[in-house]
Amino acid sequence: AQSVTQPDIHITVSEGASLELRCNYSYGATPYLFWYVQSPGQGLQLLLKYFSGDTLVQGIKGFEAEFKRSQSSFNLRKPSVHWSDAAEYFCAVDSGAGSYQLTFGKGTKLSVIP
């Protein structure tokens, strides 16, 4: 079965600093990969997704992620963090076997200090 690891439970960055959130997955083939953001009291919003093709994908709100097959990673990045980016970020994998059932990582909580 697939699994997703987000090794950082909580990250604090200064506003304007760059950000990288780590995500590693375990799956035999190339999965569909997603990053979601959950703001306090809100549902999940999709930031970006990777299915195939270009390994660097662009998302909303200035986020990007890079798929690295050799490292089984799909890290999320943003060059300059805004205070409004403070939220919980979840990496998820879909086995792509037609089930469309997502397996989520435990999440990384991002705090932004002014």
Q: Does 51 bind another protein (CB under 8 A)?
A: yes
Q: What are the backbone angles phi and psi of residue 69, rounded to the nearest 5°?
A: -60, -40
Pick 48 or 112: Cβ nearer another protein: 48
Strand partners, 34: 49, 92
- Token pair listed for 73: 């990673």
Q: Does 61 bind another protein (CB under 8 A)?
A: no
Q: Does 90 bind another protein (CB under 8 A)?
A: yes
Which CB, 75 or 104, lies closer to another protein?
A: 104
Is 54 near another protein (CB under 8 A)?
Answer: no
- 4, 23 contact by CB (below 8 A): yes
Q: Which of 46, 56, 60, 113 is in the footprint of another protein by CB under 8 A?
A: 46
Residue carrying structure tokens 């299915």: 51
Burial of 75 from C-beta contacts in 10 A (0-12 / 13-18 / 19+): middle
Task: Work out whether 47 is an interface residue with another protein (CB under 8 A).
Answer: no
Applying CB under 8 A, which of residues 26, 55, 101, 111 lies at the interface with another protein? 101
Pairing verdict, β 64-68 and 73-78 = antiparallel
Residue 100 engages another protein in binding (rule: CB under 8 A): yes
Q: Which residues bind another protein (CB under 8 A)?
A: 32, 34, 36, 42-46, 49, 51, 90, 94, 99-107
